[in-house]
Structure 1
Amino acid sequence: MVLAIIVVVIVVALVFDYTNGFHDAANAIATSVATRALTPRAALLMAAVMNLVGAFLGTEVASTVGSGIIDPPQGIAGLVVVLAALVGAIIWNLITWWFGMPSSSSHALIGGLVGSALAAAGTVHWEGVLDKVVIPMVLSPVVGFALAGLLMTALLWIFRRAHPQPLSRGFRHAQTISAAAMALGHGLQDAQKTMGVIVLALVVGGYHEGFEVPWWVILLAAGALSAGTYAGGWRIMRTLGRRIIDLDPPRGFAAEVTASAVLYTTAFAFAAPISTTQTITSSILGVGATKRLSAVRWGVAGNIVVAWVLTIPMAALAAAIAFWVLHAVLG
């Protein structure tokens, strides 16, 4: 029975990873597609490959997700907690994808873990949630916005005498590299979250000791995320690429470089599971604000912020409901 539930948890975790991929595909390529630096299909293929590679670059974030957020009970009860967390995260991902809102799959998963643990009267590491989730959730968009604005201001000054057409053409080529870097950072961050949940299920079920990630878990998580990315999230891509601001190649490049830098820093230096969605969106807002404040469609940005704020509590609520249903069914 325990092994069967572990298999179910792994399958559902990979489904979450897949939804994460198509939900967050826009994070890596929306700016490049919007500026016509890459065609949509070429951009998706590049993002899928770089997501796959990025997933093999580290497991620090996986350890944070697996051991730093909740302590579920051992056995079937703990597996139901993990399964409910994944169901809650998937539900919120699908809702926000349907409405084209670039919410955070990472925070949906964290909210799911917290909600299912609370529903089960389990242990939540609130200090870990604060240090590794809430504080980075607040700081990363602020840092992304500020750094992107500074980088864009520097580029405007450096190329102030350049002719617009050759400049745009050059930055379109540069965006191929910056979009690849962004996709690599997405793979580094987001595949690890699924790895952490699978390892947590294995530990709770008694089939693994410690939180070192087995190679086959890395391979499964990387493959599911990459496949989901290639499927593409066109609704969210339109929001990020066109509805916030009309991007040009230099601004697209600056946004991607900034977001990539934030993703790598938080993963390697702090092992913090930050939101790639929030990072790239805030960077787009930062480069847009250098054009003129009115160039940013602040109403759309406000709707995105509302989705960010709601993600953790709503995913937690969905996971709590899922836990009560699963607990009733499985006893």
Structure 2
Amino acid sequence: MIEIMVLVVAFFLAWNVGANNTANCIGVSVGGGVLGYRRAILIVIVFVIVGAVLEGWRNMRTVGEGIILPTSSGVNPFFLFPRAALASLIAAAAWMFATTFFGFPMSVSLSMVSAVVGAGLALNFIHPDLIFGLHSSRIWAIIISWALNPVFSALLSFFIYQIVTASLRRIKNLLLFNSVLKALVLVASAYSAYVLGANDVGASLGVVYAFFGGSPQLIALFGSLALAVGTLTFSRRVMTTVGSGIAKIGPTTALAAQLGAALTVWSFVQFGMPVSTSEAIVGGVAGAGLFKGTTAVSRQRLGKIVLTLVITPAAVGLLSFVVVLVLGI
């Protein structure tokens, strides 16, 4: 029974990733008028699956095995205490759903890592005799990555915007200009979707991997399909926020923000650091938008999003701690 519940909640969590974080791949492209909604959705579904299956295992192992240390016998705590695994998934999924409902971009990486830490603290509280250690150096490395992620994304997007605009100015034929720009945005969107699969699917299902074991690629495929359902059914609201609510964007701004964010997140994935695609794209839009002047960026909307991202670790960690206590071990 517990196995079925873990799968159901994991599906719901991955559904929320699709509903919320799809905007991180294509929100600025759709908002910038470069991609139609249906074509953008198709790009996401195809490349998310590819990214999750090929590279999702990196963050999956970090979240599932690299935050709470195994017992002295080498057993993963989430395998030993299935309800703790379920509690962390419930906490992350509940938070993701609430932020998606209100149209805020949210990070499954922040949510899931915080939920795992909260579950680990609860296990130590309930079983002080066992003492499940937290991998403090890994946790601090992830936190530092969270802080650097939007900064790097903003800087990369800023410079990419300058390079792209300087290059495109050399194209005098308007038809050729539009064709080249659209092709570049298509490539950037596909790459962003690939990175979403590698980063977010891996991070969201790390606990599932720790609980069930087996092939991480198979678990990634399961998560990708759930994400695709979320993309198809409930992604428009957050897409509107990302695409037009943060900055007044055009096609070149969309391209720079998309590519800067994707390159930043992919770089962290190579080190098994689950960072926020939401933070990255917000940083990317802000960085590219600031090139056009501070008036291009909606500071009020940006401030609300940043506040939501800042309070997430404490809120989800506490929620996970409480749910573990409620469910019992």
Do the two structures share a fold, i.e. TM-score over 0.5?
A: yes
Identity value in percent: 28
Cα distance in 2 between the residues matched to 1:27 and 1:118: 31
Give secondary structure in 2 for the equivalent of 1:200.
helix
Alignment-derived partner of residue 31 in structure 2: 34
Partner of residue 141 from structure 1, selected from 104, 127, 150:
150
Q: Deviations over 1:59-114 (max 9, x none)?
A: 12111111111247758862111111111101111111122111211111111111
Alignment gaps of 5+ in structure 1: 203-207
Partner of residue 264 from structure 2, selected from 262, 265, 272:
262
Q: Deviations over 1:104-161 (max 9, x none)?
A: 1111111111112212224322221111x20110011100001111111222333446
Cα distance in 2 between the residues matched to 1:91 and 1:262: 27
- Superposition map of 1:77-226 within 5 A: 78-121=81-124, 122-131=132-141, 133-160=142-169, 166=175, 167-168=177-178, 170-202=180-212, 208=213, 213-226=215-228
Alignment-derived partner of residue 250 in structure 1: 252
Cα distance in 1 between the residues matched to 2:217 and 2:305: 36
8 Å CA contact 2:109–2:204 kept in 1: the answer is no
Alignment-derived partner of residue 228 in structure 1: 230
Partner of residue 24 from structure 1, selected from 21, 26, 33:
21
2:6 pairs with 1:9: yes
Moved more, 145-154 or 214-223: 214-223
Cα distance in 2 between the residues matched to 1:178 and 1:257: 5
Q: In 2 relative to 1, CA 75–305 (structure 1 residues): closer, same or farther, beyond 3 Å?
A: closer
Q: Deviations over 1:148-192 (max 9, x none)?
A: 111112223334465695545532332111111111110111111
2:261 partner amino acid: A
How many angstroms does 1:296 deviate by?
A: 0.8
Give secondary structure in 2 for the equivalent of 1:70.
coil
Q: In 2 relative to 1, CA 151–76 (structure 1 residues): closer, same or farther, beyond 3 Å?
A: closer
Give secondary structure in 1 for the equivalent of 2:38.
helix
Q: Deviations over 1:232-286 (max 9, x none)?
A: 4222111110111111111111111112211221112x11111111111111111
Alignment gaps of 5+ in structure 2: 72-76, 125-131
8 Å CA contact 2:53–2:217 kept in 1: the answer is no
8 Å CA contact 1:23–1:236 kept in 2: the answer is yes
8 Å CA contact 2:51–2:195 kept in 1: the answer is yes
Cα distance in 2 between the residues matched to 1:57 and 1:240: 27
Alignment-derived partner of residue 313 in structure 1: 314
Q: In 2 relative to 1, CA 155–76 (structure 1 residues): closer, same or farther, beyond 3 Å?
A: closer
2:47 pairs with 1:50: yes
1:30 partner amino acid: G
Cα distance in 2 between the residues matched to 1:301 and 1:137: 17
Q: In 2 relative to 1, CA 163–242 (structure 1 residues): closer, same or farther, beyond 3 Å?
A: farther
Cα distance in 1 between the residues matched to 2:106 and 2:11: 19
2:14 partner amino acid: D
Q: In 2 relative to 1, CA 215–169 (structure 1 residues): closer, same or farther, beyond 3 Å?
A: closer
Q: In 2 relative to 1, CA 239–215 (structure 1 residues): closer, same or farther, beyond 3 Å?
A: closer
8 Å CA contact 1:25–1:232 kept in 2: the answer is no
How many angstroms does 1:214 deviate by?
A: 4.3
2:223 partner amino acid: A
8 Å CA contact 1:17–1:228 kept in 2: the answer is yes
Cα distance in 2 between the residues matched to 1:174 and 1:65: 33
Partner of residue 65 from structure 2, selected from 57, 64, 67:
67
Q: In 2 relative to 1, CA 301–262 (structure 1 residues): closer, same or farther, beyond 3 Å?
A: same
- Superposition map of 1:270-285 within 5 A: 270-285=271-286
TM-score normalised according to structure 2 size: 0.89
Cα distance in 2 between the residues matched to 1:78 and 1:22: 30
> RMSD of the TM alignment (CA)?
2.1
8 Å CA contact 1:71–1:124 kept in 2: the answer is yes
Q: In 2 relative to 1, CA 250–322 (structure 1 residues): closer, same or farther, beyond 3 Å?
A: same
Cα distance in 1 between the residues matched to 2:109 and 2:78: 25
Q: In 2 relative to 1, CA 75–100 (structure 1 residues): closer, same or farther, beyond 3 Å?
A: closer
